[in-house]
Chain A
Amino acid sequence: MPLVVENLNHIYMKGGPYETQALHDVSFTIRDGEFVGLIGHTGSGKSTLVQHLNGLLQPDSGRVLVDGTDLADKTADRKQIRCKVGLVFQYAENQLFEETVEKDIAFGPKNLGLDAAEVDRRVREAMRQVALDYETISQKSVFELSGGQMRRAAIAGVLAMKPSVLVLDEPCAGLDPHGREEILGLIKRLHTESGATIVMVSHSMDDVAQLAERVLVMEKGRLVMDGTPEEVFTRGEELRSMGLDVPQVVQLCEQLRARGYEIPERIYRMEDIREILLKILKKGEHHAQ
């Protein structure tokens, strides 16, 4: 089920004194099963863009097609679309409202009009997917959970709708390193296990480098880069001029190269650099002996 964005423009406060164009002619296609990282500086239009992906915002011009359905089409079934494209907002835990975790996760499936047995099945499934224990946690109040658990419960609330595309807006924002690892781990599992299409917005280059198969870079409302992580992260100078940075692994490679070490090009993942560093260190030992 491809997600097609064509010449999308969005203008906030049109005609007022504070009019700003948040998106300029953005076009791209996301294919089934892709893991796309969307990066950009604050105010680059990332969040506006993701809200277009399930029809929460309407384009001023251009089109967004989900599975061939134009989201601007008045006759299109909005619930159906929102069920296909699940959107996890930034600080998603702020949307929790029910008395118990179970009820909160059930909110989405219930809105879809599913019967109680199916809702229950989906709640259990979603909790398993985000590694929240059903037995101990489902009857707790959402406000008793830790920050990371709340975030995961909120993600489960979207997963319970069984979206075929999952869009996450800064899923790790404001979490401690441990919570971050948990969230990234579960996103990775979702992608590898169930083959879900994932769009992850982030301004952490490292998170994107670890997970994404394709990287989109936004600047001032325009899509300025679109390619594999290798392609994007070799353009370090351009990224820096946009106020973005390259992943720490790429920085490490650059600095090692500057000191005369032989480091192959296009290394951006932790696993890859580890091999190389181990080789270098072993060589160093040999020299020392």
Chain B
Amino acid sequence: MLNDITLGQYFPGTSPIHRMDPRMKLILTIIYIVGVFLVKSFAGYAVAFLFLYLIVRIAEIPFKYLIKGVKPLRFIIIFTFLLNLFFLTGETPLLDIGPVHLTREALFNAVYFSLRLVFLVMGTSVLTLTTSPVQLTDALERLLHPLQRFHFPAHELAMMMTIALRFIPTLLDETDKIQKAQMARGADFESGNLIQRAKAMIPLLVPLFVSSFRRANDLAMAMEARCYRGGDHRTRLRELRYTRLDAVAAVVMCGFIVVIILEGRIFG
């Protein structure tokens, strides 16, 4: 039942997209997001979709995984759509029944803003699908490294993220096990009203907290036993290096942004 949560949704592979430097992937994803914000018309979205589709094909990821990533956000997207649809005003009325006023402009905006959300999620999904969480935190640490001059704890932040990510599957496993153990004792997590359900969580949460604290304690002890003293003077097992692949990717992304800006000029 907890298998549905794809937090670390890494889809292993050896495609060019997988082999890119995670720093470049992170930067290009941010640029893609900016690009999506620059889109002015549905033609622009068509370009953004085509571009994304191409990348997904190169990455050899089934496209349904991207759609799966959007699913948890469906309520926000539907909410955005409805809000725009019913509360925006425009000049060309489409429908006018009682208190409901629909206009062409509102419909356009509703579709436009919902699509923007969909593209944001799908764009970032490509990053998380092709980059393992460890690579991702590595990239983040390197990218934030220059900020250390201003006493920004880049290494500590990355370490915290790594540890947190490392323990998500462990804790999910643990939750699943404890939940089953309590279900074996007749616990019911699935029915009852809100208060009953919240109460039913106690047999799950107490053991989970206890074991989390124990794990944290053990891990801290193990790190100290191996003389962990933070990021200074540490060398790393996997050095990150930009390659030609990254240069090509950067150029392609530049091309995409140029097309999107032109699209904005023509249709905007």
Contact = CB atoms under 8 A, between A and B. Distances in A.
A111 B185 contact: yes
Contact of A86 (B183, B184, B211): B184
Interface of B: 3, 11-12, 174, 177-178, 180-188, 202-203, 206-207, 210-211
Contacts of B203: 95, 97, 107
Interface string A87-112: 10100101111000000000110011
A82 B11 CA distance: 37
A96 B207 contact: yes
B188 A95 contact: no
Interface in A29-58: 51, 54, 56
B186 A92 contact: no
Nearest to A56: B180
Contact of B188 (A56, A111, A143, A158): A111
B185 A107 contact: yes
Contacts of B177: 89, 94
A54 B184 contact: yes
Contacts of A13: 3
Contacts of A157: 185
**Contact residues on A (Cβ < 8 Å of other chain), bracket:** 20 to 34
A13 B172 CA distance: 15
Given A17-B12, A89-B177, A95 B186 contact: no
Given A94-B207, A97-B203, 12 more contacts: A79-B186, A83-B186, A87-B181, A89-B181, A94-B178, A95-B182, A97-B202, A107-B182, A107-B185, A111-B185, A111-B186, A111-B187
Contact of A17 (B11, B180, B211): B11
A82 B184 CA distance: 6
A168 to B, nearest CB: 12
A82 to B, nearest CB: 6
A82 B211 contact: no
B185 A56 contact: no
Contacts of A97: 202-203, 206-207
Nearest to A95: B181
Contact of B186 (A12, A51, A96, A161): A161
A92 B181 CA distance: 8
Nearest to A13: B3
Contacts of B188: 79, 111
Contacts of A86: 184
Contact of B185 (A12, A51, A94, A108): A108
